[in-house]
Chain A
Amino acid sequence: MGFVGIETEYGIAVTGPEDVHPVRASALVVAAHRDLGGADVGWDYTEERPDRDARATPVRPEPPELTLGEAGTTNLVLTNGARLYVDHAHPEYATPECRSAADVVRWDVAGERILEAAARRAEQQLPDGSTVHVHKNNTDGKGAAYGTHENYLVDRSIPFGLLTRHLLAMFVSRVALVGAGRVGSEDDPALPFQLSQRADFFEVEVGLETTFRRPLMNTRDEPHADPDRFRRLHVINGDATLVEEATFVKVGSMLALLDAVASGGLPDPLELDDPVAAMRTLSHDPTLRATVATTDGRRLGALDLQEALLERCERALPAAGRDPATRAALDGWADLLVAARSGVDALFGRNDWATKLTLLEGFRDRHGLPPTHDRIRMVDLQYHDVRRDKGLYHRLVAAGRVARRTSEEEVVAAVDAAPEDTRAWFRGACVRRFPEAVVAAGWDSVVMDLGAERGLVRLPMPEPGLGTRALTQAAVEGAHDVTDLLRRLDVREELPGQLA
């Protein structure tokens, strides 16, 4: 399997005596993490090119310029290799690069703990009685949406159009397995419940934008890696998931499908007549009975589509050749599908929409409320609260009603330490060991200050699989300073900015 990361924009709101703008609140949260001991290393923006489009002719990037980037407390690189920053008036946490679905679940949950602690700490900067509310969700129910994006590294040689054709049916139908659920709809305020937080916000099949006219398949072409060999697939249509099994299946099923596409062993893509409309149709039916038209003349439901995709993956990836992560991903996908076939009761505790729907219906019955009453919306919202003493998902975990895949010990460790098998390890280790000399870092670079004589040097890291603990630990831990570090890494100092 490949490389994967998840970036999550969190909802944020402050209650109390003072009105606090969400941009300021987000900045306070990020600064609070730094104050809690997160290092003060900013982001290197040199290689950011969000406007590059996968459908255009590939262009070799300009030689990197040496720049301080926009270092500062609204944009941090963390010792676990993650990024914590303010994006569009939301605090955002991007996991380090991981090599498996299991790992990305762990580092994604670590992000929840970081936000929880930072939100609590940020309250100290505000008047008494202030509370900073942070939610891992995707909509305020009033027309605004914010994203949870999955990033998958894929082989550049796979045509983007082929990827699109194989993935659209997955994007549309996976809401039934891994949607987070929400009360109401952008199209129909009276809709009691739908499977996905994001479905209503997608308007086109393919496109470059992410904040309006959202496309199911985003064409952003910003690999943060060797652009001749790698593509970073930027998947924006998923929901933020709290139930760890749902996160695991969301990512694992995608990794398996991408491996299947890469294998060349898939038949012609399973395609839908109108993927955008289909996503809404399927999302709007929590009974999972709705069907949508395929281009080959059938009508299939969400679970039928998921089953078809799973079977195709299994055939394209023969059992004998599957590594443990692939086997786990396919098994997890199949297990959740079995539960889904049995109905919402079997899905309780296995994904967010079914867990949430059960709570909403119970609460509705107990209090005699109509399905879209504001108190019901509060249950929907508070399900996603990151505070473990208040968030309803967390209360369910505490009550033993929702299982976790991770232990709290390994999540706590992931707050500070990076995955060992990707370049995130080197990035995080540099931030930890040499915070004063690491001026900035990005996904594919570390900028170091070698002192008055040599000045700034940018170390490119175009290979997500290098910079691992195995390759770099000895150098990182043995070096006296960053000049020594670069020497130990066998880097040619006479070519600042073009270090291999």
Chain B
Amino acid sequence: MSTGGRRTERSGRSGRPEESAAQDVAGAAERPLLDDVDGLLDEIDAVLEDNAEEFVRGYVQKGGQ
């Protein structure tokens, strides 16, 4: 049970996709959102760095603050 319930009346957001209310189900066994991301996964496959494993293994930073 969420102690944040009284906050749901707040407004003040602009410009965001409208699906969140429908997804407001705690403990759902399915992940409907994952089906929606199929198209996104297609695109990831298309743009993901060629030789991804090699790139990741070679990605070393000196580090900073």
Contacts and interface: CB of A to CB of B under 8 A. Distances in A.
Q: How large is the interface on B (under 10, 10 to 19, 20 to 34, 35 or more residues)?
A: 35 or more
Contacts of B26: 342-343
Contacts of A125: none
A144 interface: yes
A222 to B, nearest CB: 13
A245 B65 contact: no
Contact of B13 (A15, A149, A332): A332
Contacts of A349: 16-17
A488 B62 CA distance: 47
A378 B48 contact: yes
Contact of B34 (A139, A304, A327, A361): A361
Contacts of B29: none
Given A87-B65, A345-B33, A390 B47 contact: yes
A143 B3 CA distance: 38
A18 interface: no
Interface stretch (A32-40, A63-71, A264-272, A395-403): A395-403
B39 A379 contact: no
Main secondary structure of the interface of B (DSSP, over half): loop
Nearest to A144: B63
Contact of A403 (B11, B12, B17): B17
B61 to A, nearest CB: 4
Given A211-B63, A332-B12, A399-B40, A345 B31 contact: yes
Interface in A73-131: 87-90, 92
Given A15-B55, A332-B12, A395-B43, A22 B62 contact: yes
Given A87-B65, A89-B62, A401 B23 contact: no
Interface in A335-359: 335, 337-339, 341-343, 345-346, 348-350, 358-359
Interface in B1-48: 2-4, 7-8, 10-17, 20, 23-26, 28, 31-34, 37-41, 43-44, 47-48
A149 B3 CA distance: 32
Given A332-B13, A365-B34, 11 more contacts: A13-B58, A88-B65, A146-B63, A147-B65, A307-B3, A328-B12, A339-B20, A345-B33, A346-B23, A379-B48, A390-B47
21 contacts: A87-B65, A88-B63, A90-B61, A90-B64, A140-B59, A141-B56, A141-B59, A142-B59, A144-B61, A144-B63, A211-B65, A236-B65, A337-B4, A342-B20, A342-B25, A346-B20, A362-B34, A365-B34, A374-B52, A382-B48, A399-B39
